[in-house]
Amino acid sequence: MTSILIRRTEPDDFRRITLQPFDAELQDTIKEHADAMYQAAMDSSCSLSCEQDGEVVGIGGILQSGEAWQLFSPDCRRAMLIMVKHIRAAIINHVLTIGEVYAMIDPDRPNALRWAAILGLYHSEGQKWILNKTLLGV
């Protein structure tokens, strides 16, 4: 049986995650700058990690600027539904308490476009996808 845990990001998570193939070129940079990335995550309004059977399969958060970010491993599929639930709740909480959330999405990456739509973000312009109180209907 698969064990899935959503928790606050820990210092070593950026060293433990193996990235999806289209992000593989970032793997060494992320590991090299893991401490700075962890500090940025802690300075965020929200930062979560997902473990599946003891392996870090996802890390994401919302920076103080409102920019949402994420890193996923190729093995994250079984944990995707629970990650969507927690990330979507964090995005809505940020919108309601602080303001707009946005993500810069590469249009050449269909999985990223689908992920933005699943999280409830709306295409704004260019690579920018947003969610704000107006779009939430509040």
Give the tens place of pLDDT for each residue, 111-123. Answer: 888 889 998 999 9
**Average pLDDT for residues 31-53, to the nearest whole number?**
90
**Average pLDDT for residues 121-134, to the nearest whole number?**
94
Query: DSSP for 5-46?
Result: EEEE--TTHHHH----GGGGGGHHHHHHTHHHHHHHHHTSSE
Structure tokens at 138: 């509040």
Q: Are 54 and 73 in contact (CB under 8 A)?
A: no
What integer pLDDT is reported at residue 109 of this predicted model? 86
What integer pLDDT is reported at residue 57 of this predicted model? 95
Fold of 4-136: Aminopeptidase (3.40.630)
**How high is the mean pLDDT of the chain?**
91
What integer pLDDT is reported at residue 124 of this predicted model? 94
Q: What percent of the chain has pLDDT over 90?
A: 58
Structure tokens at 5: 């845990």
Give the tens place of pLDDT for each residue, 50-84. Answer: 999 999 999 998 988 899 988 999 998 888 889 88
Q: Where are the domains of the chain?
A: 4-136
**Average pLDDT for residues 94-105, to the nearest whole number?**
92
